[in-house]
Amino acid sequence: MSTYRNRMHEIVRIVARKAWEQPVLSSGLWFHGDIRDNFYYASYLFAASVDPAEDPTFDRQEGKKLAEQILFRVLRLQDTRIDSITYGHWPLSLETESAQPHVLPVELMGSLMVFFLQTYEQHMSKELAELFDGALENVYQGGFYKQPLRHYGHHEAKFTAAKLIFGQRFRDDELLAEGRSCLRQTLEHIRREGMAEYGSLPWFWHWIQAFTCAWTLLEEPAVKSELSEMLDHLWNVRALYYLKGAWIGAHSRGWSHDAPKDGNVLHDYVQFGDFGLPEDMPRIEYAGFLFYEAPKSARRLAMEHVHPAEISRAFMKEVDGVNRKLHSYVYVNNRFAAGGLWERVKEFDNEQLRWLFSLPVRLGGKGNQLYFFHPGEGYNATGSDPRHQSEWTAVLYRKNVIMALYPLPDDASDEVIGVLPEGEWTLSDHAIFGRVEETYFAVYLTSPYEIRQRSGYYLVECKGHRTGVVVEAIGSLDAKQRGMSTLEDFVHKMSACKSRFFVDDDHRMEYTSFLEKELLTLSVKKPGNPGEARANGDIIAFDHYVF
């Protein structure tokens, strides 16, 4: 296995080559959708061009020249009007020539610019170095980071890191002290109440990048030590929900490249390196430049799933102005993971995945997630973006089994959407059986369904206002020990395990699990009810677990 330095260099080489081959638009930039991508790609191209340890496939001088041209263009788009409310900011989208400064680009990019200048200033032309220096002076004076702690989310994490970084750079002792105070408060908060941004991608990586950037740049040992505490905590959180590049468990937010496959994997790849680097890199940011080694205990937890484990955690989240305690559950072994959030809560942009089965990251653009949901606000009816779930779901999590009921009100659309990762699948009337990599899946459905192939996954559409789904996953080793060496063997044995579905006063479903031989029951008395989950007659839900 290569070292993290080798993996970082690999990312630098690949992104630099992509940047070199990217056509320059009439604006003098590569990308108009997000100004930050221009800065990130130019950073990699510049780094590969000046690093003697690299062996680029392009001319070094020409590569450096192109990178500087892009960086000049980016820096000159900054709002330099001292009396402007967006002083020090950059536009985000450049689709129109009149693109206005936006609050987002500087949040992370501003701190990364400090790192880039301090690391590569000696290789820059004098004009570019001076332009960088002036841009950072504008960022400092603009004071985007002058925000109070309230939600303890990724925005405030970036503000806190910026206070430390710019406080040190401009010898602002008061700002540095404020950043240190915010750092302590934030760490205390997430230790006490958990991270409300559970499974939030790519925003978790903004925590990692912002604080790793600060840890790399800060000189005072005491502050650096406190930053190490924060980063140790963050990597311990990541280790809990890690399976060979996959982010297991519930996702509160994620972009389209996070479902139905884990696409934002570069920081995991550098840190752990136990999966292949996908060709597609939707969020390069600064994964090739910034690194903080996770604690050995976290690395061991993340990479050694020799024994199956159940992970139960509680955390506080403000919902509609009220703090609520939420409960997450994950079952993980060395083949797959299953779990999610017991409660359903409203999330920003409704980009959540309430529950899912996860496999290790797969190459070739193949999906590694299996889940079902009722479409809610923001859903794309073409099925090309299988996210955005409604509130009409009740769940039961029990090791390798997930049960879900969708008791839909009369005025709701009657489809339930499923995602199956690309693999070998066999279809029957009310069940779907398959093998994907080293895991078998039995999917039992109470409603008729249709299935369509998409890029890297299959889309399942069920119809009915009383739909139920049961999924049991079994690793290939467990299956073989029980006489199932092929998919045909699996189908034969699991066909006898169909769920039972009742439509009476309760919307109720029963299933006896194949591995554990437990009678699992999930019932919902009315739409919107969280549902009652039982195993062998005992109520389980989240109260069954220790948090």
DSSP letter string over 57-119? Answer: SS-HHHHHHHHHHHHHHHHTTS---TTSTTTT-EES--SSTTPPEESSHHHHHHHHHHHHHHH
Q: How many CB atoms lie within 10 A of CB 459?
A: 18
DSSP bridge pairs for 398: 401
Q: Which two tokens stand for residue 514?
A: 């194949």
CA angle 280, 108, 194 (to 5 degrees): 90
In the chain, count H helices and then E strands.
13, 23
Task: State in Å, rounded, how far the first CA of the chain is from the last one.
Answer: 36
483 burial (CB, 10 Å; 0-12 / 13-18 / 19+) is exposed
173-209: b (≥16 Cβ within 10 Å) or e: eebbebbbebbeebbebbeeebbbbbbbbbbbbbbbb
| H or E element that contains 44 | helix 35-50
* DSSP result, 169-186: HTT-HHHHHHHHHHHHHH
* DSSP result, 440-509: EEEEEESS-EEEEEETTEEEEEEE-TEEEEEEEEEEHHHHHHTT--SHHHHHHHHGGG--EEEESSSEEE
Are the C-beta atoms of 523 and 396 separated by less than 8 Å? no
What's the pLDDT score for residue 543?
Answer: 57
Are the C-beta atoms of 338 and 473 separated by less than 8 Å? yes
Determine the Cα–Cα distance for residues 244 and 478; give it in Å rounded to an integer: 20
Are the C-beta atoms of 367 and 456 separated by less than 8 Å? yes
Residuewise pLDDT in 10s, the chain (547 residues): 479 999 999 999 999 999 999 999 999 999 999 999 999 999 999 999 999 988 889 999 999 999 999 999 999 999 999 999 999 999 999 987 789 999 999 999 999 999 999 999 999 999 999 999 999 999 999 999 999 999 999 999 999 999 999 999 999 999 999 999 999 999 999 999 999 999 999 999 999 999 999 999 999 999 999 999 999 999 999 999 999 999 999 999 999 999 999 999 999 999 999 999 999 999 999 999 999 999 999 999 999 988 899 999 999 999 888 999 999 999 999 999 999 999 999 999 999 999 999 999 999 999 999 999 999 999 988 878 999 999 999 999 999 999 999 989 989 999 999 999 999 999 999 999 999 999 999 999 999 999 999 999 999 999 988 899 999 999 999 999 999 999 999 999 999 887 787 666 678 999 999 999 999 999 998 776 778 888 888 888 665 554 4
What's the pLDDT score for residue 547?
Answer: 42
Tokens 């090309």, residue located: 384
CA dist list (Å): 365 to 205, 215, 370? 21, 34, 15
| H or E element that contains 246 | strand 246-247
| H or E element that contains 389 | none
Tokens 């700002």, residue located: 175
In a 3-state reduction of DSSP, which class is residue 15? helix
Closest CA relative to residue 354, chosen from 248, 249, 442: 249
What's the predicted TM-score (pTM) here? 0.96
CA angle 393, 399, 405 (to 5 degrees): 15
Q: Which two tokens stand for residue 224?
A: 């650096």
Determine the Cα–Cα distance for residues 468 and 405; give it in Å rounded to an integer: 4
In one-letter notation, the amino acid at residue 499 is S
What's the pLDDT score for residue 384?
Answer: 84
Closest CA relative to residue 112, chosen from 50, 161, 62, 61: 161
489 burial (CB, 10 Å; 0-12 / 13-18 / 19+) is middle
Beta strands 424-427; 532-535: pairing state: unpaired
Determine the Cα–Cα distance for residues 270 and 228; give it in Å rounded to an integer: 18
CA dist list (Å): 363 to 261, 267, 350, 358, 368? 10, 17, 28, 14, 10
